[in-house]
Structure formats: structure tokens, C-alpha cells
Amino acid sequence: MGPDLDRFAAAGAEARWAMVRAIVAGGALKDPAWRAAFDEVPRHLFVPYYFVTGPRGPERLWCEDPDPARRAQWLHGAYTDGALATRIQDGELVSSSSQPSLMARMLEELEIRDGQTVLEIGAGTGYNAALLAHRLGDDAVTTIDLDPEITESARRHLAAAGRHPAVTTGDGARGCPERGPYDRIIVTCALPSVPQAWLAQCRPGARILAPFATGLIMLHVQEAPHGTYAEGRFLHTPAYFVPLRGAVPPRERHPHTGGLPRRVAENELFRFLLTLTQSTLDPREALSLWQREKCPERERFGVTVRDGRQWAWLDDPEGPYAWPLPAD
């Protein structure tokens, strides 16, 4: 390794550690095992290029730019605590590297234990799979994506970082039964509904953590006389992810808010409620509920998947406020 590459590696390491210190200062990475993963897995290997907003639209920053200043800008951006747009198709974002602090919180919320197996829905750049493989070992981790270009690049990035979990090309909505059963499923794309296929691939007591309706739903998979079901509440954290592509039709990402007061229509928690209940409540009905329940926080809402049905609810799965979700 020459002097220039030595300096580049040193700059990358220092930037990585600074990012981790900032995430810790924000209250995440309390688990030493996850702190070690973020300390040691080099994010820049997973984002050899990404797009930023320029004066004439999306502008690419990449690791081999002949301009040293732009290479330095690329490296600095790779270790900012923000999401990075990594793939744009016909003007639409189809893949990204998620905000590291949000990734850290999601991984810690899973409460992963040694010896467990994890399925990741949405391979992205491979960075999240690398963090999981650092924590559990390559053999315990499976990541799946519909796009063969995404899975191929994820494999390359993972290999460059010395990690070799199973990377599969396929419809994430159908899971990956040949590698199951799983103790944890983590989803890195927004869901319109919870695919029933995932439940059959989970061990009893498994957890499923997924972006849903601008929030994060934590489902606990359980067995009962009538069969396997999943139920859980939303976390406090807001979350905005690229939609899941595949067998499950997408939900409307920007529900209609016409006629509502601006202060309500732009309220982040109200938009969560509106997105969650959009198949059942119109905006006025959602506003009435919102006011009656005194602006309920995300943690009061939950989702149940049982007997081929699924529904969202407020406070109680069997209570008066329940809204059917579309079948997968």
C-alpha cells in the first residue's frame, strides 16, 4: 500500500470513528457488540458512489474521481449520519444506504442473541448485512433483494469488507424459506402490509422489525392453537424508506390532505395516522380521531397478523379503534 492509500485508509478510519462517536452521543450503540461492528465495518466500501443534490439535479460522488477534493468530499459524505442515495432509476430513488444512527437503533431494538439467525429484506449496499455478519457470523445472515444488480453489487461490497453472508436474488415479500427458520427478520424497505410468508419462516418467539406507515413496527411471532400469528406496537422512531418491490402492491406514500388545516396536514404524527389508516379513514375522519384521542403518539398504535387477516389498531388489538390492512 502506497503513501496515498495509507493516508486514504487513515482518513476513512478517523471519519468512521467520528461517526460512531456521534451515534453514541445521540443515545444509540449501548451494546458493545454493536459498537464494535460500527467501529470496524468500513461504510465507505459499501458506497463507492452515491448521489447528492446539485444545481442541475442529482450529482454523483465516487471513490475514483480524479479530483482529490471531490474524492475527499465523497469520503466525508460516506461517514455523515445520513441516508445516501445509491441507485436512481427514471428519476426515482430505488436503493439507498440508510442513516447509520437509525440502523443502529433498529439493530439494537431486535435484541439479537448469539447463535440466532437473521433474514434481511432489502440488501441495499450490503452494509447492514455486514454489520449483522460481524455480530453473528456470516452463516447466520441472509439478505435478499429483487434486483440482481443490487444483489451483485452487495456481494462485491461485502467481499471487499471480508464478509460473506448469503446474498439472494428474489422477491423479499416471499422471504427465503430455504435458509430458514429465522429468529429475526429485519426489513429495510417500507411495507404496504406484512407478508404472511414471513411468519411461516420464523421460529416461535421471533421478532420482525419493519418500516410501516412512516414508523417502525416491532412484531412478535407467537404460536397459538389456531396457528402462528404476529402482533406488536410501533416504536417511537419515525422512519422513511424506499418501498418494498415485489408481489405486494405498494401503499400510497403521500395521502391526500386537501381541506385540512395546514398545521395538522404538516404534523408528522398526524401524517403517520393518516398513512396507517388510509384504506379505511378519509382525512376528516382521521382528524376527528386525532383530536378525540389528543394527538396519540406512535407507541399507542400496533398491528396484528392472524388467521389470514391483518389490521392496525389504537391501544388494544380487540378495541374499538381497528382498521383492516390490505392482504398481501
Could you read off the pLDDT of 134-168 as tens digits, one per residue? 999 999 999 999 999 999 999 999 999 999 999 99
Backbone angles phi, psi at 231, to 5 degrees: -155, 145
Contact (Cβ atoms closer than 8 angstroms) between residue 198 and residue 175: yes
Q: In a 10 Å sphere around its CB, with 0-12 CB exposed, 13-18 middle and 19+ buried, how is residue 25 labelled? A: exposed
Residue 244 pLDDT: 83
Distance CA 283, CA 273 (A): 10
What is the fold of 3-188?
Rossmann fold (3.40.50)
Residue numbers of the chain with a pLDDT score lower than 50: 1-3, 247
Which residue in 149, 147, 82, 99 sits closest to 121, CA to CA?
147
Among candidate residues 277, 230, 233, 228, the one with its CA nearest the CA of residue 251: 277
pLDDT score of 2: 39
Taking residue 131's Cβ as centre, other Cβ atoms within 10 Å add up to 23
- pLDDT at position 164, please? 98
Tell me the residue length of the chain.
Answer: 328
pLDDT reported for residue 256: 65
3-56 pLDDT, tens digit per residue, is: 455 566 788 899 999 999 999 999 999 999 999 999 999 999 999 999 998 888
What are the sequence ranges of the domains in the chain?
3-188, 262-324
How far apart, in whole angstroms, are the C-alpha atoms of residue 303 and residue 285?
Answer: 20
**Based on the number of CB atoms within 10 Å of its own CB, is 39 exposed (0-12), middle (13-18) or buried (19 or more)?**
middle
- In terms of Cα–Cα distance, which of 107, 110, 124, 209 is closest to 158? 124
Q: Is there a catalytic annotation at residue 95? A: yes
